[in-house]
Structure 1
């Protein structure tokens, strides 16, 4: 059990200094202390004393950490993401204002995992722990045990602030997609994830009686999670609301240049420079659409030269030429749906036409069992799953490459390439100790092992990070030293899937 001081630290960590320090009225502290209050704008959260009160919106509005500390141990639920304002209906009957379009900042993603009863929850705990390390990269900051399941918190290294642009909230949409993909990832590995609940609504509040895991250094880097989400979007099937797969159009009716979105993007002149869905990505997407539509490469260059010239802040000519070359390299089939939708949201927010699914939207590959070769991402997933399964509750496992080849049926050359990719992304670590067999460890294995014995494993976490990122050894932190931000910077630099999505990640 964690002490009260640690629980309060967990609550403050989630909220990212988004509340006032002192109460505006009836503060227990003197006026001199209140005068030191940070002048920046602060927000509000809501707390509820029971699940029944939460369902009826019978709650308490809190705008300061002083007020939170005074009542938190009597509350069961809260809004971990901060709102611009919250108030009450007449006679203080209900809390009002906790809507997504009133969010001031998004501090954390929370995944709700529910089972039939507490018995099933406890029986499947190890299964849950193996599933919540998303892609063997993103580790929960804390886990709360509920009556029949768990609330898993992934606290961001910095909040995502919401700003309204042209009547839309682009940051909110991006966060919703990230939350959806994280839930989908976990749902594929453990049943019970509530994929339909409000992404940024009401969840259990950390308390001494429900906090089963917490590490303040396990913060998820927003940019790394966003990049992973972009990659993951290309790996999951595109579905309709009724969960039927989207059907691609036939070649003679699926030219992307004939679709409304292409014409709308071609008329935009306000695309700016920057990371993500900016000028380069826009030009590349248009070039890919022309490649898919069998437009000549020279014609594509001419069209994009005109498009680029019309931009208020155009690209250098050589960058346009390079985009066309990349699009016509044969490594792509056409513009991807996720990028077209993102570009429209960013630069054509009032687009009302249909985004028709053409040939380039979704590759209907044969099932793996019917193919002679497996994709690199499939082998990476298989290798990690095998090592995690063989390791069970251990912090490391002795496995030879010959054993992995035998278990998976993978060739030596492919296995060697996959192992290098996993190590490059810090998803896998080799430990060599003299003449002993090489040990393999993953983030999932270390996380599960730490859950079993946090104190005993704290040095293992430190040693793992020190060998990967030597500067952490002198960072001055007290144990535990795990900081996912340092590791995830490597994801931004060269993730193992970089070659698969390099030209379409901004």
Structure 2
């Protein structure tokens, strides 16, 4: 995995896929989750630049060498005081000036495990043959003076333990940008900040006792687990209140080390004689049976630390095996299989969740079914990513779940990434799918297709069939990258997979908007406009058919009806906007009304206006409202004047009569 995948793992939602435009900022407001990443050429201020989007980060990575894995809330000052999010624990192992001369990656791995630290997420080698080591946090931590200080204390301690640079500490520091060439180790492992705090506390306690032998670890495998000083301490016997946990933990240790159940039980009966008081023999037998027949394959490092009171951790430094060689598949790979199954059923499936999961098998091993627990996790992830919709009807055993693909573009990208992961078996770097970062927005790539390629049908489809449009070419063209993903999905889910047809359909949408003075860029910046285009597709399909339903009436009829439908929907949309605006201004005071008019005039002066005709109509409505109020005021004043005059005349008449 190179910079693209690594960046997403570090920053997640702290960077955006594209720069926010002014209308979006007005709609969504201030986002306090975003942060600035600083990049630099040589640690000098003159060559430092701040970026806030993934696209900007990738563009500048060609010219810049260093980056900040943690993010800031200001783009002009890289200081502790401007830090917003802490994402990683990072250490610099320097190899300059004779320090750590000849250090290798296995040496670094040995130092990490000997220190009792968890497996890192990323190791980058520097040109001087040093290393930058990063542990990605499970959840980013909001920076504060107190947290920053504790972070630096833990960072200094880790640096001391693994021969790092104790002077290169602080969450605001720069580190070398990862590339395919300098990334020497990468894993999916993440660590919680609490775990690092616990590690730091144990180190402090043991340093006070001056017991450094307890810091020894191992990395070659489970076979040396029982020889670790922390495990040996537990084997010396434990007190009441620890016996059950200790017995189960030791049984897992014997299991991981390769001992059979009977041998482990015999050893633990001998161990039980050292406990104060002893456990019942039946309890020992029960714990061993539970450990060997349960789902855990090795003991918990945390339990060993708690029982022994010593620093303990074990890391198995091995690369991920190909999927067909693993007993457990990554959840991302199962996502691809679930989507392929649903697509093979026409994009929608219903029934009990267990029945559905029982029908889904691995794409590399047809005899392997998805575990039910994994299936539920996959559905939750796909639902969260807005790729899949889930609707449950009924309760209990009679409940039925409907699963439907609602974003075909994202679904295809997810499958593509899973497929690429399966194929990538020869390298520790997983490679990069060009769409790992880029979301499917206007101007981006709609699907992971290169020029001249076409979409592959699901592996479950026995006979590959390309649904035809009126194109005279035998193969469908790639999906155009400048068409919004929601619009692409609306057509693709109904069988329109040819990029030429999708491009022509989008052209009709643009033409319909153009008749109202709406430009292409304005459509891209307004979510309501894209949603209207999707609605236009739904209405057109209902009247003119679709390929997937088999009632398609022809390309020209479809596109002509789509154009008229889009015009009608937008005319109604604009009419509703004006009606709502009129209702709003009728309740405004005179000063507020004038202020709204001035704001509209300022918007019209801008270089790029989303809907100029709408703004002009709103201004005209304000002028009508102001004119109506002036006439009403004038009439009221005139009526009051006439009434006063009549009263005066009446009084004069009465006096004359007297």
TM-score normalised according to structure 1 size: 0.47
Bigger relative contact order, structure 1 or 2 (CA pairs below 8 A, ≥6 apart): 1
From the two aligned structures, give the one with the greater helix fraction. Answer: 2
The structure with more radius of gyration: 2
